[in-house]
Amino acid sequence: MWALILPSFVAGSLAGLSGGLLGVAALRLRLSALGYAMAHAAFAGAALGLWLGLPPLLTAFLFASALAALLGPISEKTGLPVDSILAILFPLTMALGFLFITLTPGLPLTSPALTLFWGSLLGVGWTDVFVLAGITLVALGFVAFFRREVWASLVERRLAEEAGIPARWILWALYFLLGAGVAGSMRLVGGLLVYVMLFLPASSAAQLVLDLRRQFLLAPIFGVVSTLGGVGLSFWADLPVGTAVALASCGVFLFCWALSPRRRIPNLAEQFPGPAKGPN
């Protein structure tokens, strides 16, 4: 039994850690379409792999990562914001995915390309764990080593550049890591719900702390708690893992929202004592 579920728990921890960490950057850069666009890019990559007779999960990962690596240069060349490019890539990659599937005769609905959309708890193997471990290590190393550069580039890109920080390269590297992180986590939670792993832990952290560095510390913890909670809930309640992770993440977010200092309303009665007066 443990041999069966251990890879899912380890993959869940790693996906939560990397998703929480990179989600802080995604939230700050307002890349709301990233989850969907990368999910569909991975789907197109998997379909391409099936059509060409290559391992679909490998082609899914490579296709999504390559597209993510190109986001920065495309944005700079075209002058379009990254979020707009993602909105264009979303239908394009979906269309490509369906095109490749049409070109591949006799493809069953249980094919790896299609299971990428909703994830599979039991489908997670040690290869997925190693891929996720690699992405998580690189993401952690990058954010830790370039902590000042990442922080400054996310606070204000132009000021960072003027201060002598290569903000352009830092942001391009973050786009790539985000794309790779999404592609690596899809096997577990599925493309349709990978969005929650990026944005909910980061949003939960932002409810409690304003400082970006503290968000980088807190969001991965929320990510791990949400993902492990979701994986556990999935086993316990026999729910699809993506659904369970989404429910657990929403629970963490609601808890943080309830405790958020941002919700505190100043007590006007204390600040302005005396009877309330209407206009004369």
Partner 1 sequence: MDPVLELTGVWAAYPGGRGAALRGAYLRLFPGELGLLMGPNGAGKTTILEVFLGFLPYRGRAKVLGLEVRDHVREVRKHLGYMPQALFFPPDTPCRTLDLVTMGRFGHYRPWQRLPRAERERAFSVLSKLGLGEKADWPIGQLSGGQQRKALLARALVKGAQIILLDEPFASLDPEARMDLAQAILGIRAEGLTVLAVVHEEDILSQADRAWFVRDGETAELSRPFGRLSEIWLNLCGR
What single DSSP character describes residue 211? S
N- to C-terminal Cα distance for the chain? 76
What is the Cα 111 distance to its own chain's centre?
A: 24
Binding mask of the shown chain, residues 49 to 88, with x at each position contacting partner 1 by CB under 8 A: ------------------------------x---------
What distance in Å separates the CA atoms of residue 17 and residue 32, rounded to the nearest whole number?
19
- Rounded to a whole number of angstroms, the minimum distance from the CB of residue 225 to partner 1 is 21
Q: How far apart are CA 17 and CA 43, in angstroms?
A: 23
Shortest Å, Cβ 111 to partner 1: 42
Residue found under tokens 């690699």: 134
Q: Could you say which of 103, 155, 237, 259 contacts partner 1 (CB under 8 A)? A: 155
User: Do 65 and 183 contact (CB within 8 A), yes or no?
Assistant: yes
Instruction: Give yes or no for a contact between 186 and 220, defined as CB atoms under 8 angstroms apart.
Output: no
Measured CA distances, 79 to 36, 70, 74, 177 (Å) = 22, 14, 8, 22
Residues 6+ apart with CB under 8 A from 236: none
Does 156 interact with partner 1 (rule: CB under 8 A)? yes
Asked if 264 touches partner 1 (CB under 8 A), the answer is: no
- By CB under 8 A, the residues from 164 to 203 that bind partner 1 are 164-165
Nearer Cβ to partner 1, position 126 or 156?
156
- CA dist 72 and 77 (Å) reads 9
Q: Which of residues 196-225 bind partner 1 (CB under 8 A)?
A: 206, 210-212, 215
Task: Pick from 51, 63, 146, 199 the residue near partner 1 by CB under 8 A.
Answer: 146
Distance, in Å, from the CA atom of 161 to the CA atom of 171, rounded to the nearest integer, reads 11
Q: How many residues bind partner 1 (CB under 8 A)?
A: 24
Which position among 125, 162, 169, 237 is part of the footprint of partner 1 (CB under 8 A)?
Answer: 162
Name the minimum Å distance from CB 76 to partner 1. Answer: 9
Kindly write out the interface string for residues 83-122 of this chain, putting x where it contacts partner 1 by CB under 8 A and - elsewhere: ----------------------------------------
Say if CB 132 and CB 185 are below 8 A apart: yes
Residues in contact with partner 1 by CB under 8 A are 28, 79, 145-146, 148-149, 151-152, 154-156, 158-165, 206, 210-212, 215
